[in-house]
Structure 1
Amino acid sequence: MFFEGSVNSSRNPWSFGEGVDIRTDKTIGQAYTGRDNRLTPIRFVLASAVLAEHAIIVTQGPLPPPPLAINGWSLSYVAVNAFFILSGFLIADSLERRADIFTYAASRALRIFPALVFLSFAAVFIFGPVFTQLSMAEYWTSGQTWLFPIQVLGFLDTSQGPAGIFADLPWAGEFSATLWTLRYEMIAYMAAAVIFFSPIPWNRLTHVALFGITSGAYSALSVFWSDAPALIMSSARLSAAFTLGMVVHGWRHSLPNLPWAVLPAVPLWLISGAYPWAEWFLNIALAAGIFWFAFAAIGGLPTWSRIPDWSYGIYIWHYPIMQAILYFDANSPPLLVAVVSLPLSFALAAFSWSFIEKPSLELKGRAGEGLRSMFTRGNKPHASPDP
Structure 2
Amino acid sequence: MRVTDERLDADANNFTAVRLLLATSVIYTHCYFTVFGVRNADDLSGILGAPISAYAVDGFFFLSGFLVYPSLLRLRSSVRFLTARFVRLWPGLALCVLLTVLAGVFFTSAPPGDYLGGETARFILSNLTFTVASYRLTGVECGGEACVLNGSLWTLPWEVRCYAVLALLGVLGLARPAIMKWAVLPLSLIGVLVWDIPQVQELARSLAGDGAVYLIDTFDRLWAAFAVGIAAYLFRERIPLSWWALGALFLATLAAQVLGVGLHMRALLIGYAVLCLGLLTAQRRVFSAKWPDYSYGMYIYGYPIMVLIYAFWPTSSHMALTAVTMAATVPLAALSWHLVERPALDAYRRHRRAGRLAAQQT
Instruction: Report the CA distance shift for 1:143/1:286 in structure 2 as closer, same or farther (over 3 A).
Output: closer
Specify the alignment match of 1:278 in structure 2. Answer: 262
Note if 1:82 corresponds to 2:56.
no
Deviations 1:136-188 (A, max 9, x none): 34434x4222221102112244343211223327x842111010100110011
Instruction: Report the CA distance shift for 1:317/1:260 in structure 2 as closer, same or farther (over 3 A).
Output: same
Residues 49, 79 of structure 1: 8 Å contact kept: yes
Specify the alignment match of 1:185 in structure 2. Answer: 159
Deviations 1:174-213 (A, max 9, x none): 1110101001100111111111231326222235414413
Q: Which moved more, 1:144-153 or 1:242-251?
A: 144-153
In structure 1, what residue type is equivalent to 2:140? I
Deviation (angstroms), 1:340: 1.9
Matches for 1:205-354 after TM superposition, within 5 Å = 205-206=182-183, 208-220=185-197, 224-225=201-202, 229-273=213-257, 275-296=259-280, 300-331=284-315, 333-354=317-338
Specify the alignment match of 2:359 in structure 1. Answer: none
Q: In structure 1, what is the Cα distance between the partners aligned to 2:90 and 2:251? A: 40
Q: In structure 2, what is the Cα distance between the partners aligned to 1:38 and 1:60? A: 34
Q: In structure 2, what is the Cα distance between the partners aligned to 1:298 and 1:90? A: 17
- Superposition TM-score, scaled by structure 1 size: 0.80
Deviations 1:49-70 (A, max 9, x none): 1111111112333568455313
In structure 2, what residue type is equivalent to 1:337? L
Q: In structure 1, what is the Cα distance between the partners aligned to 2:313 and 2:343? A: 37
Q: In structure 2, what is the Cα distance between the partners aligned to 1:68 and 1:92? A: 32
Deviation (angstroms), 1:119: 1.3
In structure 2, what residue type is equivalent to 1:164? G
Q: In structure 2, what is the Cα distance between the partners aligned to 1:237 and 1:266? A: 19
Instruction: Report the CA distance shift for 1:328/1:112 in structure 2 as closer, same or farther (over 3 A).
Output: same
In structure 1, what residue type is equivalent to 2:252? L
Q: Which moved more, 1:88-97 or 1:294-303?
A: 294-303
Residues 159, 175 of structure 1: 8 Å contact kept: no
In structure 2, what residue type is equivalent to 1:183? P
Pick one of 170, 173, 178 that aligns with 1:196. 170
Note if 1:158 corresponds to 2:129.
no
Specify the alignment match of 2:360 in structure 1. Answer: none
Deviations 1:246-294 (A, max 9, x none): 0011111332344554243222211122555312322222222221332
Deviation (angstroms), 1:330: 3.6
Pick one of 148, 151, 175 that aligns with 2:123. 148
Q: In structure 1, what is the Cα distance between the partners aligned to 2:213 and 2:355? A: 35
Note if 1:114 corresponds to 2:130.
no
Residues 136, 146 of structure 2: 8 Å contact kept: no
Instruction: Report the CA distance shift for 1:157/1:184 in structure 2 as closer, same or farther (over 3 A).
Output: closer
Q: Which moved more, 1:210-219 or 1:107-116?
A: 210-219
Pick one of 95, 100, 111 that aligns with 2:77. 100
Q: In structure 2, what is the Cα distance between the partners aligned to 1:256 and 1:43? A: 22
Residues 184, 238 of structure 1: 8 Å contact kept: yes
- Over the aligned positions, Cα root-mean-square deviation in angstroms equals 2.8
Q: In structure 2, what is the Cα distance between the partners aligned to 1:303 and 1:334? A: 29
Matched pairs, number: 345
Deviation (angstroms), 1:79: 0.4
Specify the alignment match of 2:108 in structure 1. Answer: 132
Instruction: Report the CA distance shift for 1:133/1:331 in structure 2 as closer, same or farther (over 3 A).
Output: farther
Instruction: Report the CA distance shift for 1:84/1:371 in structure 2 as closer, same or farther (over 3 A).
Output: farther
Deviation (angstroms), 1:106: 1.8
What stretches of structure 1 of length at least 5 have no aligned partner? Answer: 1-23, 373-387
- Superposition TM-score, scaled by structure 2 size: 0.85
Task: Name the one with the larger helix percent.
Answer: 2
Identity within the alignment, %: 26
Q: In structure 1, what is the Cα distance between the partners aligned to 2:190 and 2:320? A: 43
Q: In structure 1, what is the Cα distance between the partners aligned to 2:310 and 2:158? A: 29
In structure 2, what residue type is equivalent to 1:127? A
Residues 26, 299 of structure 2: 8 Å contact kept: yes
Q: In structure 1, what is the Cα distance between the partners aligned to 2:30 and 2:167? A: 33
